[in-house]
Structure 1
Amino acid sequence: MNKYIRTSLAGLLTTTMITGAAFAAGTHPDTGEALADDQTFIYRLGDEHSSVDPQVVEDTYGAEITRDLFEGLMNQDEDGNLVPGVATEYTTNDTKDVYTFTLRDNAKWSNGDPVTAGDFVYAWKRAVDPELSSPYAWFMELMSIENAAEIIAGNKPIDELGVKAIDDHTLEVTLSAPLPYFPQMTTHSTTFPAPQKVIEEHGDAWTRPENIVSNGAYIWTEHLPQERSVRERNEMYWDNENTILDKVVTLVINDENVALTRYLAGELDRTEVPAGQFPRMSQEHPDQAISFPRLCNYYYTFNLTEDGPEAFKDPNVRQALSLAVDREIITEKVMAGGQPQAYTFAPEATAGFTVPEVEMASMTQPERDELAKELLAGAGYGPDNPLSFEMVYNTNEDHKKVAVALSQMWKQKLGVSVELANMEWKVFLEERGNQNFDLARGAWCGDYNEASTFLDLLQSQSGYNDGKYNNARVDELLAEAKTSDNPAPLYTEVERIIAQETPVIPIYHYAGVYMMDTDVGNWPINNVEQNWYSKNLYKRAE
């Protein structure tokens, strides 16, 4: 692991303009490493991405692709720090409720048109437009952009959104309340610019390779749904001279074991390590198997709507199920990739977040099991009245292993009968979003590095509060945290309420568990958000 870190971090790219001759010489301009003749990066996707439309995409796979095709105001470096994107700088007023971004004058769309502040205004208004029904419209509300909430609710026209182009290279954003981490949120794909005339010409088909116009380091050249996609260098990109990778290829491979086999056969440069196989891979391929903290959580969410299971309306039932989960077995035996056990919703890797003490975390597993039996019996469930429900997850071998383990724990310890059901990714997203489930798998990777990116999911009006948990005190605390100089105590109270009421069952927090070819340079393992950009990667000669 340490050897990998030293090697990969040695390849940090600088912002210095480099001539094409440096790359033509076959060596990296900073490290002096010999570069591969074929600068193609091939990696595996576990499923078809949701979209590459910045205002529509809602999954990690799609966001990775979209981040290459489009560029927002700000980017991140290999450590997760903000660096210029289309914006070269930003300023804010004393009250931090007006942000002004200065856009570079050499940013262009792939058709040669200049990228202007108006392109951001159009995109942000599009994101809150009820007619589009963006799955991430709520994110614009979280950004505290003036009038976003009212526009999304249909109570104000979109032209009243607090964003305007002062001129082609100056974007002004007005917030409804101060938000000190607002600039961090502009690395999210929902805030990327959109080409108005292309969208108006092609409608929903504007993101097809033959139609799309984008402003990122790469263009979309091929897409075979459920099979593969290709993105290639955008010659119009303002920093194209510093880009080394020529082509990025994704292959959709649902089965992790098949993906690993293809990786070992040399067909992939990167793939996830299947659950339980990291110890073996790290022994057999110590220079390729890597694990590092991720800003993501893995959980199960209860359907708490009126139409949800009657049993789940009792917090004692929910807590009993959470207590009976032996997280050590999940992390050490099932996953075995360095994932931390989770007793809180927000991960320890979150910036400025100290994991609060919750009662369950300090108990032994036998103590948890005993309390779980007492709570379930007290709620009226037992041998004469067994609890039964369905739990759903999206098709994936790792998710299946976790679901099977959970169902066996509940059966053996509590006599609970669980029916497992898996769904294809897009169907799963729709069914979960429509509350057509009893207990559903959930996972969240932070949209920015602050605890609210996780805890806001349990705010009553959140677009991704799929279980429809509603707690007025939680809403109040989260609202107060947005303007607080010290939100940590507020987040601690939210976590303790969640632990007591158990609207979700945190299982573990993610690790990035990959097989990575040694010829891949500059993978940002120190960026816990894993907002990676192909333009910063390169392939070494082997």
Structure 2
Amino acid sequence: MTPVLKNSLAASLFALIAASPAFADNPVPEGTELAEDQSYTYWLLDAIKSMDPQINTDVEGSDVLRSLFEGLYNENGTGELVPGVALEHTVSDDQKTYTFTLRDDAQWSNGDPVTAQDFVYSWKRLADPATASEYAWYLELMQIENAAEIIAGDMSVDELGVTAVDDRTLEVRITTPLPYFPQMLVHASTFPVHQATIEEHGDNWTRAENLVGNGAYVLDEHILGERVEMSKSDTYWDAENVIFTDLTALTINDVNQGLTRYLAGELDRVDIPAGQYPRLEEEYPEQANSVPYNCSYIYMLNVGESGPEELKDVNVRKALSYAIDRDIIVERILQGGQPPSYNWTHTAVAGFERPEIEYANWTQEERIEKAKELLAEAGYGPDNPLELTLQYNTSEDHKKIAVAAQQMLRQIGVNITLANYEWKVHTDRMQNQEFDMARYAWCGDYNEASTYLDLLASYSGHNNGEFFNDEYDQVMKESKTAEDPLPMYQQAETILAEEMPIIPIYHYAKVFMLNEDIKGWPLENVNQTWYAKDLYRVAE
């Protein structure tokens, strides 16, 4: 085994990790006066569907899970990797075997030591078809040995390429070198879970009275759709440097109500409703924030067998996309610094350059004329309107965008019926292909373009629109072994623009209010991956 530091492909990642101390420093700068109250209350739009790292699929759920559990690595305020349960790793000369050295002071909240076997158990559980995890495919993206065969039910989970060499040494075998492999380990699906607790309580193991985690906080209460209460764990390896003592996440489906409660002092953080950032930034310059955020907002089209026949025509799909005026959406509705998008991958993703996409350079008038022309070729127009349903999850912002899209599409002869569903129903319907068009957003699991582009491959567990394209699949497979994958990523984006299985709307900015007493927020991390253990409240 060759230390990573000597390995050209992974040296930079190792350097980031190796430069970080094995034991975290206190996040509070010297001389800072801390507030006596170190509680933190923040807003959630939707209910947390699951506290199980291998089952959760939501960004907000991951925010909670990063407090209750800890994976091999974490991210710092600029998105660089820092030690979590793993202190460091080495990689073999062929780039296919990673060996992680785990810290010896990591504990579960019941006092049990966290061992390499915990990761082996958890990753096998993620791959096991019996778990029915929507994120099982993530192990395939990580190129873990035998993951695809296990997920397909063709091989035993015991054949997964993860081994506990001893309590403090975890070996992971991948089939294809991935320079960004360590970055993928911050995703919640890779977090360890406590085997004995799951075996004792079954599906009830995530209840507050049962859950055993290894994070900086423990779960005190979870009332679905109402609140999540957490408190500082005294068994966490770096507990002495964790400042917040209590965390409360409140589910408030109306972001405007959330803002009202924030301004009343009931919340320390809330997203800013569409259109209100300019006013709030002027009135509360120390609290209103808008920073690039590694997520993209789209309308996914159901082009699979269960989808409407009309959407199987690429001309129809292109017409729908061309008719939507992104500038109006970002400049008049959102007004939070979000850039309009004509492609899938967020342009702020590290190392990514958007290819030349023809319709992105047209005027909106040119797009409208082309949309009418394509729709007419498909047999639709004012005298024979196309009828489709657009569904979205409960949110005033999503509603505003959907209403605008409805009006924009009407001008080319498309009648859109809007359908609003609460989050769980919305996502269940998408997973079951029970939709025509659906509001969708994807937040990168790591800061690299493949986190977007793999999602629309046939092997993806989130390709809900069932876009299956052999050329696209081949390009993405070739990208895994390319010395420079950028040209293949650009080719994949070009295919998406030609086939239009999704309608890009905008790339996210994180637009939110944060109590100016709260410090340590990772504004420079494009993933906006935040850890409550790194935050603190200063005295007024």
- In the superposition, the TM-score normalised over structure 2's length comes to 0.95
Is the CA contact 2:122–2:192 (under 8 Å) kept in the aligned structure 1? yes
Give the superposition deviation at 1:50. 1.6
1:210-255 deviations in whole A, cap 9, x for unaligned?
A: 0011001110011111111111111000011111111111011010
The letter for the 1-side match of 2:528 is: Q
Q: 2: CA distance between counterparts of 1:18 and 1:529?
A: 21
**Which of 472, 488, 499 does residue 490 from structure 1 map onto?**
488
Partner of 1:11: none
Which residue number in structure 2 is paired with residue 328 of structure 1?
327
- Inter-partner Cα distance in structure 2 for 1:29 and 1:296: 30
Contact residue 17 and residue 242 of structure 1 kept, 8 A: no
Partner of 2:8: none
The answer on whether the counterparts of 1:290 and 1:514 sit within 8 Å (CA) in structure 2 is yes
Following the alignment from structure 1 to structure 2, what is the Cα–Cα distance between the partners of residues 460 and 17? Answer: 42
Question: CA separation in 1, counterparts of 2:196 and 2:89?
Answer: 27
Alignment of 1:9-88 (within 5 A): 29-88=28-87
- The answer as to 2:436 corresponding to 1:438 is yes
Q: Please name the residue that 1:502 is paired with.
A: 500
Q: CA deviation at 1:263?
A: 0.4
The residue type equivalent to 1:516 in the other structure is L
Does the CA contact (< 8 Å) of 1:18 and 1:29 recur in 2? no
Q: How many Å apart are 1:491 and its aligned residue?
A: 0.6
Aligned with residue 475 of structure 2, among 474, 477, 491: 477
Residue 317 of structure 1 pairs with residue 316 of structure 2 = yes
Secondary structure at 1:333 match in 2: helix
Aligned to 1:4: none
Residue 5 (structure 2) aligns with: none
Deviations 1:359-391 (A, max 9, x none): 011111111111111111111101221101101
So what's the TM-score if we normalise by structure 1? Answer: 0.95
Deviation at 1:16, TM superposition (A): 8.4
The equivalent residue for 2:14 is: none
Unaligned 5+ residue runs, structure 1?
1-13, 23-27
2:141 corresponds to: 142
Q: Mapping of 1:113-512 within 5 angstroms?
A: 113-411=112-410, 413-512=411-510
Q: Secondary structure at the match of 1:164?
A: strand
Identity of aligned residues (%): 56
SS in 2 for 1:319: helix
How much is the aligned-residue C-alpha RMSD, in angstroms? 1.2
- 8 Å Cα contact 2:389/2:416 also seen in 1: yes
- Paired residues of 1:322 and 1:505 also in contact (CA < 8 A): yes
Shift of the 440–17 alpha-carbon distance from structure 1 to 2, 3 Å rule, reads: closer
Cα distance, 1:101 vs structure 2: 0.4
2:532 to 534, 537, 540: 534
Q: Is the 8 A contact 2:22 2:83 kept in 1?
A: no
Q: CA deviation at 1:42?
A: 0.6
Give me the whole-angstrom Cα distance separating, in 1, the residues matched to 2:23 and 2:500. Answer: 52
Indicate the SS of the match to 1:231. Answer: strand
Which secondary structure state, in structure 1, belongs to the residue aligned with residue 293 of structure 2? strand
Count of residues in correspondence between the two structures: 521
One-letter code aligned to 2:175:
S
Q: 1:530, CA displacement in angstroms?
A: 1.2
The whole-number CA distance in structure 1 between the counterparts of 2:228 and 2:468 is: 40
Distance in structure 2 (CA, Å) of the matches to 1:421 and 1:132: 31
SS at match of 2:408: helix
* 8 A contact 1:315–1:501 mirrored in 2: yes
Equivalent position amino acid for 2:256 in 1 = N
Cα distance in 2 between the residues matched to 1:238 and 1:541:
27
- The code of the aligned residue for 2:488 comes to L
Where do 5+ consecutive residues of structure 2 fail to align?
A: 1-19
| C-alpha distance 351-17 of structure 1, shift in aligned 2 (>3 A) | closer
Q: Deviations over 1:87-108 (max 9, x none)?
A: 0001101111111100000000
* Contact persistence 1:297–1:346 (CA under 8 A): yes
1:255 and 1:487 mapped to 2: Cα distance? 41
Report if aligned partners of 1:18, 1:241 keep a CA contact under 8 Å in 2.
no
1:469-516 CA-to-partner distances (Å, cap 9, x unmatched) read 011111001011111110000011111110111000000000000011
Asked if structure 2 preserves the Cα contact closer than 8 Å seen for 1:294 and 1:530, the reply is: yes
Classify 1:18/1:86 alpha carbon distance in 2 versus 1 (closer, same or farther; 3 Å).
Answer: closer
